[in-house]
Structure 1
């Protein structure tokens, strides 16, 4: 019984550590829709813009998306000369208390990002 408790504690800690720390690290579909998008600065001084967030399945009505992951993947898209409306897929995760979020590259939430051509 003791090993089960330690294993459970390890799983919970691993999940909590894997999740970004605060709500400010995320953006939701509702926030993007309300604001008409969500701007993300890129390294050349241009700005990518999240225009839509699509949860991976109908049973997930909300999808909290990690902003740092989107910034990294939008920058990679720009570096690969992918411009315009670029679909970016993030890995779907569930934290220790049942909150759903997408973090890192994967096959979960789809985020549509308007990636600009780089500044000269």
Structure 2
């Protein structure tokens, strides 16, 4: 089985550092016009999911979600979470460290496509209150 989302060792190390500081996390890729490949990293439960948000899978124990409209562009690609040296224009938890998460893509092969699990509604996530 091929995962819909994976991460580089650098991204996994950053998630570990951030979760040690902030507790359970959530990654959300908005797909908007600004920072469209920069997922937000936020404390789990501090981001209101929309009815059309989907969870593609877990990366380093952290759910990776996006809107269903964004998923329409990414559904044939594996999302690869990475880290770059840059300042983002948002309030993602990694911003003070002078780095930002970025999402790259790898197209699934024809052999992989039939074996992919569908994303699940993000509302199904267990979120602390």
> Normalising by the residue count of structure 2, what TM-score does the alignment of the two structures yield?
0.29
- Structure with more of its chain in helix, by fraction: 1
Query: Computing the radius of gyration over CA atoms, which structure comes out larger, 1 or 2?
Result: 1
> Normalising by the residue count of structure 1, what TM-score does the alignment of the two structures yield?
0.31
- Higher relative contact order, structure no. (Cα contacts within 8 Å, ≥ 6 residues apart): 2
